[in-house]
Every structure is written in C-alpha cells, then in structure tokens.
Structure 1
Amino acid sequence: MNAELSILDLFLQASLLVKSVMLVLLSMSLMSWAMIIQRSRALSQASQKVERFEDRFWSGVDLSQLYQEVKARKHYLSGSEQIFYAGFTEFARLHRSNGGVPEGVMEGASRAMRVSLSKEVEELETHLPFLATVGSISPYIGLFGTVWGIMHAFIGLGAVKQATLAMVAPGIAEALVATAMGLFAAIPAVMAHNRLSHKVNRLENDYANFMEEFSSILHRQAFATPKEQ
C-alpha cells in the first residue's frame, strides 16, 4: 500500500455512495462560501447606507425636501430610506384625507413603517437559514459517509481468509475523509451564520430606533395646531 495516499486518491478509491457524500459536502461548502461573501458585502453596504441616510436626516434638512430626494429614486431604496419613504408617504396621504383625526394618521403611518421594517429585515436575512442548515447537517452527512465506508471496508474483509491492517486502512481512511469534509463545510457556515446574524440584529435595531424617532417627529406634526405648523 502507498503510504502517501492523497485526498484525491482516497476519493477515487471510495465507494460510489461515499463519493456522492463527498461531492454533496463539497457543493454545500462552495455554496455556503459564496453566500457568506455575498451577505457580508450586502450587510456592510446596508450599514453604510444607514449611516449616510441618518446623517442626512439629522442634518436639519426639511423633511419634505428629503422626501422628494428619496422619492426620485424610490425603486432603489433600502433600509432606513425605505422606512422613511413608506412612513412619510402614508402620513402625507392620510394627513390630506383625514387630517382631523391625527390618531388615525399616526396609526396608518406607523403601520406602513412596521411593514417596511419587516420586509427590510427579511431581505437582510436572505441565505442565513441556508448557512444554519449547512452548519447543522453537514457533520451528520459526513458521519453517514464515514459509517458507510467503514462498514463497506469491514464487509470486504469477510471475503478474505487472513485480514491485515493494510487491507482495511485505505477503506477507513477514505471513509474518515467524509467526516473531515463535513466539518470543513460546517465550521465556517456556523461561524459566518453567528457573525452575520449579529450584524442583522444590529441593523434591525438601527432601523427600529430610526422608526421610533421618525414616528415622534410625525407625531408632533400630526398633533400640532395650525399655528404651530
């Protein structure tokens, strides 16, 4: 037996089922890495957008002017901008048609912002369930391949009169590669899922805080007397 068997050699010598397990784990690992990179970039961009928009929002700009700026690119909004656009649009619509009932105006605006917040958070969480799935099931898939490979190796020993370690070692080694690949797929997925989930929670808090602060501003406008407006 060649003592310098590579992972490729072990893969080629493995049974069809163990090969299938290895290929599934490799595919899951590649897909999870693609999603990790894509989500990391998306969440970083979302954080930057929140900071830029809130700097603009609290710069003292007139809200009507800011609304017109945001409305001009309404098809490309996300995060705090989208929440602001949804809330101000509904507020303005209800204020024109139902200005005498400020409670109804505020309820409608708040409801629009909550719906928008929910959609934005759902967008931020894209692909995170897949990473959680990879992290939780990959070790078990790898273990299944290992158990099958070892069982296959020992069954093969039953056909010979004198069993030696040299005869069973390659089969066990190739089976253990499946477990290693399961861990290789699972560990980065779990770590990335936890890190990205933390970023999503932080952005969700930023969105919720902005929504509450903006609601307070709209509340003052809704309940202001004509002279105060």
Structure 2
Amino acid sequence: MPIVPQPPLVQLSQVCKGFNDGDQYHRVLDCLDLLIHPAETVALTGPSGSGKSTLLNIIGGFEYPDSGQLWLQGADCSHWHDPQWSRFRRQHLGVIFQQFNLLTPLNVHDNVLFPLSLLGQKWNDWCDYLLQKLSISELAQRPVEQLSGGQQQRVAIARALAHRPALLLADEPTGNLDADAAEEVMQLLCKLAADAGSAILMVTHSDSAAAHMQRRWHLQQGKVHE
C-alpha cells in the first residue's frame, strides 16, 4: 500500500487582517501563505505591533481573518463558528500565555488537570511525568498565586501539554524570566513538546529562545520571511 502523506498541521492561504484606527486602516497581515507540519517547531519574530500575536490568535480561532483561508489538520476552518473552534481548542490546541493566565485560587494539580477535565479525562502518568520533568511535583498542592514567576511558567507549560495537543501556541513564553531561567524553560519546553508529539509556533523577541526552534519566521510589514 502506498504511504499517504500527512496534510500540513496548519496552512494559511492569502490571509489578510487589518484594524481600523479612527479613519485609518492598518493592514498587519498581507496575503500570508504559510505551512506548519506535524511536530514542527517554529519561532515567529518581528517588531512590536507587526501582527505576531494576531497571527497566533487567527490560528487559534481567537480572531478571524478579513480574507483568505485557514486549514487545520487538513480541515478548512475558514468558516468555523464558536462551537467548532471550542471543540478544536479543547482537543488539539495548547496555549502558553506571556502572563501565564493560571486559574486562581486553584492549586498546581488542578490547573494541570483542567484541560483534561474539559475532555472528560482524569489525571494520568503523563501528568506525573510533566510535573517531574518540570521540577514542580512537590508543588502540586500549592495554590498557584504562591509560586514564583518561573514556577508559574512551568505550571503553564504542564497545563498546555497535559492533553498532548497537536499544536502548541506560545506567546513570549520566556518574556518574564531572567536569562538563566528562560534557557532552562526553553530546553524543557522543546523536550516535552517532542515527547508529546506537539508542534510549536512561538512568538518571541529573544534570539536565544528562537534558536531552540527548527525554523524561524520574521513578520514585518504584513509578510513572513524565513
């Protein structure tokens, strides 16, 4: 039997997005075409305001493009509505936010369990593995607001990977960490995403963080350059 190639995990075709600022219209994404393949890791850099977070939000269904098409795992989701997006995010998407966005006053265990509970699943050996590798096993019962910034970031990584998503979107995941902590977190993130089989699209201003990714895109004036 011939081997059927996998479709790209993410495919954008001629995607445009802009915003009105008073009487002015600003186009931040200008007819973008791009592909991300399963388990691939990509860093997205560019000046502030260039549309990096907008691109992440479109791929995650948090914003909609003005025009163009978006496919995820081979499915045309250009016209999906909230129920379809919610289902995709629960099953296939992990997100790491710059400000962590952990659930307070829940503890570490319950934050990591949260994405699994949305799928009707329970704590499992993979969750134990995540906490062990991220060195937060001993913090499992501690409320997350009592953790340091570096510890909260580790919890955010564990939560994003708990359900082994096909795609991990990370928005400045080391932006609030010092250089040594950032380097350690990036090594852990890449290792655990590989173990989960997750692709990564990461927005960053850090050259050292970007160097951990297999590919690097630069977004400027609405275009992506590799």
TM range (shorter): under 0.3
Q: TM-score, normalised by structure 2?
A: 0.25
Which structure carries more helix by proportion? 1
Q: TM-score, normalised by structure 1?
A: 0.25
Larger radius of gyration: 1
